């Protein structure tokens, strides 16, 4: 694994600006490129769903079914999934989770103990998968400034479980203007590509316009999803400071799929690398590794499979005053606000 990947897998707060906390968050203002601030705030959070009544006999049936599933070997699991016309791909633990979730839904549906929307996760209409590529060196010195050089967005429709559209632009760096040989080889992004690209503020403005055209945050509920904390807590955070921009309000909260995958399938963080998640779900990487757009597509495929397996994709991380903070699972479910270009820090 490259040094860059190690940094993205294991966030180290060398600058003291990335910390986990659970303090309340304050809203920033947003504005158009002409720097006229918007008063649009975040949508009113939806109340957390009520907890099930676990005294209901149906939960005893579910526990018995889970015990039976736990005793099944891989061939038995695959045969039962095939019989039920469910996906048979993935490792043993993934198939167990899929089968348990199927029986839980079936039994809860029969007793009408499940409320509308619980059987399938459709709170968000869309999920925007973002996986930046940034300037890097082979040894990545502690004081090296990582600048975003590729801004991809993959639009996942949670109702159809399809990638509906994509956005991709390269970004011209302004601090380390010459890409290292290591960076070019790792990302496939050439010096010519970034030299011909616009700087981050212009690209961010077009991202915002693209999201607005999709009516996200107005007609449709949405949120962002990343493969780890690094994209927002480091790359976006650093880039906004460099360009004297406030952190975009619509990007201040997101789904860290690594955390969610580990919690849902009960696997350690060491087994949540992109290649490992794909392999355990029975999926294959499509495209070129470390292409931001291709990585985002593959992360979207993982999100699709997790939705099919019954996982509720929910915001679990956020930024506040330059610090990374965890969002507890008990927090009200909410989507991202309508996208707007952030104000200048000046």
Task: Indicate which residues carry an active-site annotation.
Answer: 133, 290
Could you give the CA distance from residue 132 to residue 113 in angstroms, rounded to a whole number?
42
Sign of the alpha-carbon dihedral angle for 172, 178, 180, 185: positive
86-114: burial string, b at 16+ Cβ within 10 Å, e else: bbbebeeebbbbbbbbbbbeebbeeeeeb
User: Which single residue is written with the structure tokens 């599933």?
Assistant: 69
Q: Pull the structure tokens for residue 46.
A: 């939806």
Q: Do 130 and 146 contact (CB within 8 A), yes or no?
A: no
CA distances (Å), origin 67, targets 61, 96, 248 = 10, 11, 47
């Amino acid at each position: 694994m490259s040094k860059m990947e190690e940094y993205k897998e294991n966030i180290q707060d060398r600058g003291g600006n990335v910390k986990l906390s659970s303090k309340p968050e304050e809203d920033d203002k947003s504005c158009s490129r002409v720097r006229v601030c918007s008063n649009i705030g975040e949508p009113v959070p939806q109340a957390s769903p009520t907890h099930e009544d676990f005294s209901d006999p149906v939960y005893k049936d579910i526990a018995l079914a889970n015990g039976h599933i736990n005793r099944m070997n891989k061939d038995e699991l695959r045969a039962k999934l095939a019989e039920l016309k469910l996906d048979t791909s993935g490792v043993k633990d993934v198939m167990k989770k899929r089968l348990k979730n199927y029986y839980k839904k079936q039994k809860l549906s029969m007793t009408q103990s499940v409320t509308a929307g619980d059987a399938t996760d459709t709170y968000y209409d869309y999920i925007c998968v973002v996986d930046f590529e940034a300037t890097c060196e082979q040894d990545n010195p502690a004081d090296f400034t990582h600048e975003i050089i590729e801004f991809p967005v993959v639009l996942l429709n949670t109702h159809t479980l399809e990638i509906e559209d994509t956005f991709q632009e390269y970004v011209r760096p302004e601090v380390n203007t010459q890409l290292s040989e290591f960076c070019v080889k790792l990302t496939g992004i050439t010096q010519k590509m970034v030299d011909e690209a616009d700087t981050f503020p212009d690209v961010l403005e077009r991202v915002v316009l693209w999201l607005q055209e999709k009516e996200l945050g107005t007609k449709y509920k949405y949120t962002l999803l990343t493969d780890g904390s690094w994209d927002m807590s480091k790359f976006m955070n650093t880039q906004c400071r460099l360009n004297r921009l406030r952190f975009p309000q619509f990007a201040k909260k997101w789904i860290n799929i690594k955390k969610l995958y580990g919690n849902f399938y009960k696997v350690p963080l060491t087994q949540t690398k992109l290649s490992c998640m794909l392999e355990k779900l029975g999926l294959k990487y499509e495209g070129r590794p470390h292409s931001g757009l291709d990585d985002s597509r593959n992360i979207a495929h993982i999100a699709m499979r997790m939705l099919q397996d019954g996982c509720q994709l929910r915001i679990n991380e956020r930024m506040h005053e330059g610090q990374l903070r965890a969002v507890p699972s008990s927090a009200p479910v909410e989507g991202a606000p309508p996208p707007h270009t952030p104000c200048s820090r000046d």
